[in-house]
Amino acid sequence: MDTRQTIFIPIGRAGHARNLLFHDFLSLLSGKYRIVFLLSDNDPEFREKFGNYDIEELRKKQITPFKKRLETVFKSIHRALIFNPSSEVFAGLGRGTSINGVLLDNGELVKYKRLRYFLAKHVFGKLLAGNSVRSFFKYLDGKIFTCAAYNELIDTYAPALVFITSIGSDDQVALLRNCKQRGVLCAGMAGSWDNASKWGFREKVGLLAVWSDYMKYEVTRFQGYVEEETAVIGIPQFDHYVHPRIQAKEEFFKKFRLDPAKKTIFFGSEGPICTEDPYVVSFLQKKIKDGALSGYQVLVRPHFNYKERDTARYAPLVDNDTVFMDMFYRVSAFKDGVSISMETAHNLIAEIRHCDVAITSASTLVLDIIANGKQPILYSFDENKTKPFKESVRRLYGSLWFREIFKFGLDNVANNEDELIEKIKEITANPDKDLDKRGALIERLCYRIDGKSGRRLFEIVDAHIQNKE
Q: Which whole number is the average pLDDT over 10-37? A: 94
Percent share of the chain, pLDDT over 90: 62
- pLDDT tens digits for range 77-93: 888 788 888 877 765 54
pLDDT score, position 104: 31
Residue ranges, CATH 3.40.50.2000, the chain: 6-61+137-239+451-468, 246-445
Q: What is the pLDDT of residue 127?
A: 63
| Whole-number pLDDT of residue 433 | 77
Q: What is the pLDDT of residues 225-283, one digit of tens each?
A: 999 999 999 999 999 999 888 889 999 999 999 999 999 999 999 988 889 999 999 99
DSSP code string of 73-88: HHHHHHHHT--SHHHH
Domain covering 246-445 in this structure, CATH number: 3.40.50.2000
**Chain center to CA of 8:** 22
109-131 tens-digit pLDDT: 445 556 666 776 767 666 666 67
CB of 137 closer than 8 Å to CB of 78: yes
CA distance 355 to 342: 20
Q: What is the pLDDT of residue 76?
A: 82
- What is residue 99's predicted lDDT score, i.e. its pLDDT? 32
Q: Is 113 helix (H, G, I), strand (E, B) or coil?
A: helix
pLDDT average, residue stretch 36-41: 94
Average pLDDT of the chain?
88
Number of residues in the chain: 469
Whether 335 contacts 308, CB under 8 Å: no
Residue 448 scores a pLDDT above 70? yes
Range with the poorest average pLDDT among 23-37, 346-360, 395-409: 395-409
May I ask the CATH class of domain 6-61+137-239+451-468? alpha beta
**Higher per-residue confidence, 410 vs 221:** 221
Measured between alpha carbons, how far is 287 from 291 in angstroms, rounded to an integer? 6
Give CA–CA dist 451/442, Å, rounded: 14
What pLDDT was estimated at residue 113? 58
Residue type, 236: P
The CA-atom distances, in angstroms, between 401 and each of 85, 139, 144, 294 are 9, 29, 34, 35
Higher pLDDT, 5 or 310: 5
pLDDT for residue 114? 66
- Strand duo 54-57 + 98-99: pairing: unpaired
Using N-to-C axis directions, what is the helix angle for 24-32 and 453-468, rounded to 10°?
30
Each residue's pLDDT tens digit, 355-383: 999 999 999 899 999 999 999 999 999 99
pLDDT at 46: 93
- Per-residue pLDDT, averaged over 418-422, amounts to 97
Q: What is the pLDDT of residues 176-203, one digit of tens each?
A: 999 999 999 999 998 888 888 888 899 9
What does the pLDDT read at residue 181?
96
Distance of CA 91 to the CA centre of its chain: 17
pTM, entire model: 0.90
Amino acid at 350: A
